[in-house]
A and B are shown apart, each in its own frame.
Chain A
């Protein structure tokens, strides 16, 4: 395949599950209607919450000295289970793989979600998504005319985003 570094599209979802930004960079995925993108954003928002709640819980062996049970972990000492990977906080879907694309989700501390659709072979998606977050912080959040949680219509953001992604490939 020629475009092994392909970045197909970007979607930004606000903390309420509303679609606030959608842009296609390279062809590769099917085109959806605006309504379908809104539905997709809402669905993903819900699914993301569910994937967090179905995290397997590992029961802890009944120990006599419960205070020593979990120092340093986020689980309270009274609970009788821990999570598989106690080093990391419990998150929802991080990335999804299909035959044709890879969907990487990055959630900011304030609950905004960045969804990046890339080719399954694309490496360093983490770097790309962090750069996009940087650009979002610089050109959307610092735009005095931008209203929080509302659709992103910032020309400077579009321009810099496009330029950076073109320069990368």
Chain B
């Protein structure tokens, strides 16, 4: 299983945390030219790209969540969707914080995992942090070392499992 990216959106539709993992370059049919000296882009490398895919991801999950609520009723929950290339997992807390994770197609349901990230990591290290503000405009308070480190570890164990 590979995790491509992870996003947290707050109740004001703002992306308060975003992280991308670059998987190792895929093995290509005639990969004899792969130089051993060239360091492969390792898993866990953060990309600080300022592009706006977070906004696109938010728009997608927001629209789909509303569609699901409309058709299935208020107590229905949007869980995930697949395309031919990736799978998007979605979890929303009762406080309207949205957790989104993009993984490969082989991954099992990540609903419990996202729930665990909320309970064991987000609540523990962000909400209970006395120095962290109540809201997190621009990601203040979320990008603390403890949260990032444990998220890293959490995803690593999932990937290796």
Identify the A interface with B (CB < 8 A). 29-30, 32, 36, 40, 43-44, 46-47, 50-56, 58-65, 68-73, 82-86, 88-101, 117
A54:B71 contact, CB within 8 angstroms: no
CB distance from A28 to the nearest CB of B (A): 9
With A29-B71, A56-B4 given, is the CB distance from A63 to B33 under 8 Å?
yes
The residues of B that contact A68 with a CB separation of less than 8 Å are 28, 30-33
Q: Does B97 interact with chain A (Cβ within 8 Å)?
A: no
Contact (Cβ within 8 A) A51 B38: no
Could you jot down 21 A-B contacts, CB within 8 Å? A29-B72, A44-B67, A47-B60, A55-B85, A55-B86, A56-B4, A58-B26, A59-B22, A61-B40, A62-B38, A63-B35, A64-B35, A68-B31, A69-B33, A70-B28, A82-B25, A84-B104, A85-B86, A94-B83, A99-B75, A101-B76
Contact of A93 among B22, B30, B77, B81 (CB under 8 A): B81
Interface residues of B in 51-71 (CB under 8 A from A): 53, 56-57, 59-60, 63-64, 67-68, 70-71
Q: How far is the CA of A149 from the CA of B40 in the complex (A)?
A: 49
Given contact pairs A71-B30, A72-B29, A99-B75, enumerate 4 new A-B contacts (beta carbons under 8 Å).
A40-B70, A58-B23, A60-B25, A100-B73
Contact status of A90 and B85, CB under 8 A, knowing A51-B60, A60-B25, A98-B78? yes
Q: Which one, A47, A63, A96, contacts B34 given CB within 8 A?
A: A63
- Restricting to B9-50, which residues have a CB under 8 Å from any CB of A? 20, 22-23, 25-26, 28-35, 38, 40-41
Query: What is the interface of chain B, defined by CB distance below 8 A to chain A?
Result: 2, 4-5, 20, 22-23, 25-26, 28-35, 38, 40-41, 53, 56-57, 59-60, 63-64, 67-68, 70-73, 75-86, 88, 102, 104-105
CA distance A32 to B71 in the complex (A): 8
Chain B positions within 8 Å of A93 at CB level: 81-83
How many Å lie between the Cα of A29 and that of B72 in the bound state?
5
Chain B residue, CB-CB nearest to A89: B84
Asked whether A98 and B77 contact (CB < 8 A) given A55-B83, A92-B83, the answer is yes
Among A54, A69, A73, A117, the most chain B Cβ lie within 10 Å of the Cβ of A54
Task: Pick the contact of A90: B56, B63, B70, B84 (CB < 8 A).
Answer: B84
CB distance from A77 to the nearest CB of B (A): 11
Q: Say yes or no: A50-B33 contact (C-beta < 8 A), given A98-B72, A98-B77.
A: no
Given A69-B28, A82-B26, A96-B64: A51 touches B34 (CB 8 Å cut-off): no
